[in-house]
């Protein structure tokens, strides 16, 4: 897991929006530059973060990988960041086992006090926050609990270190203000093997532990007479050495999870209230408990959740890979028989082939963060990201997996496609944020920050909640056949911007114009090609249909597209079924109909009976209002369906425009 | 007798009237009872949803409710209609709040209620999955004896909407062609769109798309194309010569509907079949 400590923007941002598209939770692109949002920073500022203020812990860890991805995607390479350094590097004592995740998270967590508690706990968090967790373990249970305890300690702003009692210098306890001991009991009330030496040292030690607060979690078996004796011995000895027991010793039977959980939920907030001077601040306990609970909502922090290790059986497949050599302008197919685990991705397969079969194979690889929206390919007809799509989802054992470049794009080499057209169209239409005046609040540091209702923000996010806009671009069947079309991915981006309440009204108008006019969304010939491509395609089409509906309303059903929709709906309302003949006339107009006559379309429709073998005319309308009713040209007038009034009522109820 | 509520789609009783000429004779031969949904309306094509998704959903829900009163699942011969109905059904079943809203309108306007007890299929999937290719093969009177390219289009080629067929590399139509005594021709663009919803609005790219499908099939050696989509048939047939002019590709090929293909092989409309074979021979593969 990648945890980012700091992220900042250097000068010369081109405000391209790439960063905010990838990680809108951290980046916000203004007219001048990309900014780091105040909500994620410990200093609450809203600027490029030139001061390199740290990120709040939950954001540094949650969005770490997305920040790295945004940095990689930045075309001018001005997004800089620092990762939290590995605690393992700082280990100096062999007996001390640093828990990396805890050590990484803790310093940041200490700074991530919610605004409501800042005044109460800020001073406490500002000082030393070290916590020592000692374990005496014979079978590993106590060690495991120590590790879990360390992870939970981060929730209370503590920087926990887990240490084995074996080799630990007992006299050094006096330098620790906060100590937790978790130990099992071995045999008839004996210390576990790894704790015996330290225990003997403790019995002889004259160290003064008067500034050390501690608590003990004792594990034992109640069927033995000396139940949990090792733990109670430690509690008594440390008290005798002057230590202050912050919470009573927990006595855990063989089913130790529940009593340990109860102990840790009490002991941790209490010991977290020991301040920099070693004084227990009892008045802060309530705030500390609330703070700890607030940062443990998702269960993932607790360390109790372990993702399943999903593995699938090996598959033998035949891979057909498109190859293109730009030097000779030759293209063709490579066929490679390979065996891979079913959970391998297309990218895994390509890397394997590149390494073992043909080093010249070219394809776009995943980014450092593990997912790259530019790795789109066509695999067995499906438009997918090569670094996410698993082989087992695309073909069966013994089957063939055909991998082609993303459709609708110029192929540079093998599976690598050019994104020049995308970039050019994007720059031309400027679908990035141009904000207008809006409501906001002032932060404590005086900086202004815009606010948005959470429901609006969620809806805005959902509009383009797809894994890759480039992938959506590749789903359209007409992209490669219509040079003037900017594509559905770009249209989706513009639609989001036009729905964004932060956009200036003039910019929103410009976005709508770009969607309505040449290159816009009306040049998508068939949404079905997109919606059939799974959840991403369905999501995109759902949004783009909303876009078209808004365009029709705002531009008053203008143009051929508007006439088509209005005439179609009107004819359905009029009879219950669409009337193709009136639809042609209304939409095409006299010039369009003339074009069809010149190009032979009308004649082919009239003479359709010569191809189908059907009758020339099926009723009187062919004689009364020709060419309607002749050949394959339908009648001019539709018969109304049974209970037609019900359809009229539905239209009247839901849309009175028709 | 296998019974279905029959939804003709938007063009089977208009510009694709040959579907109506052939589907009932075909059904009778196969023991398939296609019962009209009395009073059914247009499903909105892919058009009405562009201005009002709820309106299109309600129009579909009305048809579903009428079919539920019939007591039989819906079958259509149009891939676009199957795609639209499948999407509408999926939305209604997955969003109970929206479904309640639609039902409220239905009850108020039509005294109908959609219960969600129905499913929709395309004729192709009923033929392969319900009737069975073996039975169809047994009933063949006039084997096709032609090289036939199958055109599916994109609308019904999505997970869940096309029976047990592969959505992206379908084989049902090819298997049916073989069962009818024809030779199925494989080609790349059998699930590509011909831009039917934009036929009247985006002339040049739609003609390019249409020509791509026809020329691909022609290049693969097809003498005849069978379309599982009645709406797309207009592009492939009536606009064939215009597509050739715009794209400068060879698009000349007879294109027929699925119901025609099956009906001809089962011995119906022998004169039409003879005429078709003559055209295919004259035009050539």
- ipTM score for this prediction: 0.97
Share of chain A above pLDDT 70, in %: 91
Q: Which residue has the higher pLDDT, A75 or B52?
A: B52
* Confidence band for A519, pLDDT divided at 50, 70 and 90: very high
Can you give the pLDDT at residue A444?
85
Answer whether CATH 3.30.420.40 is correct for domain B2-122. Answer: no
Of A524, A595, A653, the CB nearest to B109: A653
Can you give the pLDDT at residue A368?
60
pLDDT in tens, A580-595: 998 998 999 888 888 8
In chain A, what are the domains?
4-83 (3.30.70.20), 89-294 (3.40.50.360), 314-408 (3.10.20.30), 420-555 (1.10.1060.10), 560-654 (no CATH)
The beta-carbon contacts of A335-338 under 8 Å, at least 24 apart in sequence, are none
Direct distance between the N- and C-terminal alpha carbons of chain A, in angstroms, rounded to an integer: 56
Lowest mean pLDDT among A420-429, B243-252, B259-268: A420-429
pLDDT in tens, B102-139: 999 999 999 999 999 999 999 999 999 999 999 999 99
Task: State the average pLDDT for chain A.
Answer: 86
Can you give the pLDDT at residue A361?
94
Closest by CA to A403, choosing from A354, A350, A447, is: A350
Mean pLDDT of the region A399-423: 93
Mean pLDDT of the region A6-20: 87
* Confidence band for A449, pLDDT divided at 50, 70 and 90: confident
Distance from CA of B280 to the nearest CA of A (A): 11
Q: Which residue has the higher pLDDT, B197 or A86?
A: B197
Residue A103 has pLDDT above 50, yes or no: no
pLDDT in tens, B131-184: 999 999 999 999 999 999 999 999 999 999 999 999 999 999 999 999 999 999
Answer whether CATH 3.40.50.11810 is correct for domain B140-283. Answer: yes
Distance from CA of B189 to the nearest CA of A (A): 10
Inter-helix orientation angle A488-499/A505-516, to 10°: 150
Residue A207 has pLDDT above 80, yes or no: yes
Can you give the pLDDT at residue A298?
43
Chain B CB contacts of A531 below 8 Å: 87, 158
Residue A409 has pLDDT above 70, yes or no: yes
Distance from CA of A560 to the nearest CA of B (A): 6
pLDDT in tens, B54-92: 999 999 999 999 999 999 999 999 999 999 999 999 999
Closest by CA to B112, choosing from A576, A640, A574, A647, is: A647
pLDDT in tens, A262-284: 899 889 999 999 988 888 988 88
Chain A residue whose CA is closest to B170: A381
Mean pLDDT of the region B250-274: 97
* Confidence band for A637, pLDDT divided at 50, 70 and 90: confident
Can you give the pLDDT at residue A369?
57
Q: Which tokens sit at B175? A: 């298997």
Residue A169 has pLDDT above 50, yes or no: yes
Residue A29 has pLDDT above 80, yes or no: yes
Residue B238 has pLDDT above 80, yes or no: yes
CB contact under 8 A, B53 and A549: yes
Closest by CA to A467, choosing from A69, A76, A83, is: A69
Residue A388 has pLDDT above 60, yes or no: yes
**A406-417: b (≥16 Cβ within 10 Å) or e:** bbbbebbbbbbb
* Confidence band for A569, pLDDT divided at 50, 70 and 90: very high
Chain A residue whose CA is closest to B155: A528
Mean pLDDT of the region A619-637: 86
Of A525, A579, A592, the CB nearest to B202: A525
Residue A550 has pLDDT above 90, yes or no: yes
Alpha carbon A239 to chain centroid, angstroms: 50
Q: Which tokens sit at A616? A: 């020339």
Can you give the pLDDT at residue B255?
97
pLDDT in tens, B6-33: 999 998 888 889 999 999 999 999 999 9
Lowest mean pLDDT among A57-61, A123-127, B22-26, B227-231: A57-61
Q: Which tokens sit at A598? A: 């010149």
Can you give the pLDDT at residue B285?
57
Can you give the pLDDT at residue A611?
92
Give yes or no for a contact between B114 and B103, defined as CB atoms under 8 angstroms apart.
yes
Q: Which residues contact A537 (CB under 8 A, 6 or more apart)?
A: A383, A472, A475, A530, A531
Chain A CB contacts of B38 below 8 Å: 642
Can you give the pLDDT at residue A173?
92
What ranges do the domains of chain B cover? Answer: 2-122, 140-283
Can you give the pLDDT at residue A380?
96
Q: Which H helix or E strand runs over B275?
A: helix B270-283
Q: Which of residues 119-148 of B touch A (CB under 8 A)?
A: none
Residue A654 has pLDDT above 80, yes or no: yes
Residue A96 has pLDDT above 60, yes or no: no
CB contact under 8 A, A613 and B275: yes
């Amino acid at each position: 897991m990648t945890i980012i400590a700091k992220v900042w923007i250097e000068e010369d941002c081109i405000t391209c929006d790439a960063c905010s598209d990838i990680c809108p939770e951290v980046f916000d692109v203004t007219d001048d530059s990309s900014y780091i949002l105040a909500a994620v920073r410990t200093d609450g500022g809203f600027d490029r973060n030139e001061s390199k203020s740290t990120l709040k812990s939950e954001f540094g860890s949650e969005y770490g990988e997305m920040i790295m991805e945004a940095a990689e995607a930045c075309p001018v390479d001005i997004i800089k960041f620092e990762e939290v350094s590995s605690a393992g590097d700082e280990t100096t004592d062999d007996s001390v086992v640093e828990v990396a995740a805890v050590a990484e998270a803790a310093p940041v967590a200490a700074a991530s006090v919610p605004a409501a508690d800042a005044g109460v706990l800020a001073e406490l968090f500002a000082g030393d926050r070290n916590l020592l967790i000692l374990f005496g373990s014979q079978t590993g249970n106590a060690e495991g609990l120590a590790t879990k305890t360390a992870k939970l300690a981060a929730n209370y702003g503590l920087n926990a270190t887990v240490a084995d009692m074996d080799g630990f210098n007992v006299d050094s306890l006096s330098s620790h203000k906060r100590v937790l001991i978790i130990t099992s009991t071995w045999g008839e009330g004996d210390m576990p093997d790894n704790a015996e030496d330290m225990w003997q040292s403790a019995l002889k030690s004259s160290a003064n532990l008067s500034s050390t607060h501690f608590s003990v979690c004792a594990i034992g078996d109640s069927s033995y007479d000396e139940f949990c004796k090792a733990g109670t011995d430690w509690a008594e000895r440390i008290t005798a050495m002057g230590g202050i027991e912050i919470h009573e010793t927990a006595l855990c039977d063989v089913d130790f999870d529940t009593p340990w959980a109860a102990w840790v939920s009490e002991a941790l907030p209490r010991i977290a209230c020991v301040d920099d001077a070693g004084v227990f601040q009892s008045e802060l306990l309530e705030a500390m408990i609330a703070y700890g609970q607030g940062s443990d909502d998702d269960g993932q922090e607790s360390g109790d959740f372990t993702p399943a290790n999903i593995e699938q059986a090996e598959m033998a497949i035949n891979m057909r890979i498109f190859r293109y050599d730009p030097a000779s302008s030759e293209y063709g197919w490579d066929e490679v028989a390979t065996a891979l685990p079913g959970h391998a991705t297309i990218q895994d397969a390509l890397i394997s082939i590149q390494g073992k079969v043909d080093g010249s194979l070219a394809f776009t690889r995943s980014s450092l963060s593990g997912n790259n929206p530019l790795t789109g390919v066509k695999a067995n007809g499906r438009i997918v990201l090569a670094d996410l799509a698993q082989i087992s989802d695309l073909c069966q054992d013994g089957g063939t997996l055909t991998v082609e470049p993303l459709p609708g794009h110029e192929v540079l080499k093998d599976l690598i496609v050019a994104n020049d057209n995308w970039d050019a169209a994007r720059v031309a239409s400027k679908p990035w944020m141009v904000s207008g005046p809006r409501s906001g609040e002032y932060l404590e540091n005086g900086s202004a920050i815009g606010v948005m209702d959470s429901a609006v923000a969620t809806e805005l996010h959902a509009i383009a909640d797809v894994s890759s806009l480039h992938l959506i671009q590749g789903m359209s069947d007409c992209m490669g056949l219509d040079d003037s079309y900017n594509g559905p991915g770009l249209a989706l981006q513009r639609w989001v911007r036009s729905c964004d309440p932060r956009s200036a009204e003039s910019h929103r108008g410009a976005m709508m114009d770009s969607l309505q006019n040449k290159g816009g969304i009306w040049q998508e010939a068939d949404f079905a090609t997109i919606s059939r491509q799974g959840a991403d395609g369905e999501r995109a089409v759902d949004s783009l249909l909303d876009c078209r509906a808004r365009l029709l309303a705002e531009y008053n059903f203008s143009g051929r597209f508007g006439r088509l929709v209005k005439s179609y709906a009107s004819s359905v309302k009029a009879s219950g079924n669409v009337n193709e003949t009136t639809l042609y006339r209304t939409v095409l107009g006299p010039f369009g109909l003339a074009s069809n006559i010149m190009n032979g379309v009308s004649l082919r429709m009239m003479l359709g009976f010569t191809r189908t073998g059907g009758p020339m005319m099926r009723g009187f309308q062919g004689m009364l209002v020709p060419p309607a009713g002749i050949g394959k040209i339908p009648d001019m007038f539709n018969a109304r369906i049974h209970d037609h009034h019900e359809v009229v009522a539905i239209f009247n109820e839901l849309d009175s425009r028709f | 007798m296998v019974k279905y509520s029959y939804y003709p789609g938007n063009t089977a009783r208009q510009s694709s009237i040959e579907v109506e000429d052939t589907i009932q004779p075909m059904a009778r031969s196969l023991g398939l009872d296609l019962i009209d949904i009395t009073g059914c309306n247009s499903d909105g094509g892919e058009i009405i949803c562009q201005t009002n998704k709820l309106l299109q959903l309600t129009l579909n829900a009305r048809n579903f409710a009428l079919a539920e009163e019939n007591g039989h699942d819906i079958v259509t011969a149009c891939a676009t209609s199957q795609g639209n109905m499948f999407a509408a059904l999926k939305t209604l079943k997955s969003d109970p709040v929206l479904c309640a809203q639609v039902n409220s309108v239905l009850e108020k306007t039509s005294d109908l209620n959609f219960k969600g007890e129905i499913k929709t299929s395309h004729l192709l999937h009923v033929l392969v999955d319900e009737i069975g290719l073996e039975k169809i093969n047994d009933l063949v009177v006039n084997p096709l004896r032609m090289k036939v390219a199958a055109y599916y289009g994109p609308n019904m080629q999505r997970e869940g909407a096309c029976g047990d067929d592969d959505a992206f590399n379908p084989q049902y139509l090819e298997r049916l062609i073989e069962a009818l005594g024809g030779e199925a021709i494989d080609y790349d663009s059998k699930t590509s769109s011909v831009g039917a919803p934009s036929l009247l609005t985006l002339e040049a790219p739609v003609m390019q798309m249409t020509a791509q499908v026809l020329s691909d099939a022609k290049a693969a050696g097809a003498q005849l194309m069978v379309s599982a989509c009645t709406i797309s048939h207009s592009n492939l047939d009536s606009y064939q010569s215009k597509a050739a002019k715009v794209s400068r590709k060879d698009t000349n090929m007879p294109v027929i509907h699925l119901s025609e293909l099956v009906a001809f092989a089962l011995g119906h409309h022998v004169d039409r079949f003879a005429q078709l074979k003559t055209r295919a021979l004259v035009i050539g593969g």
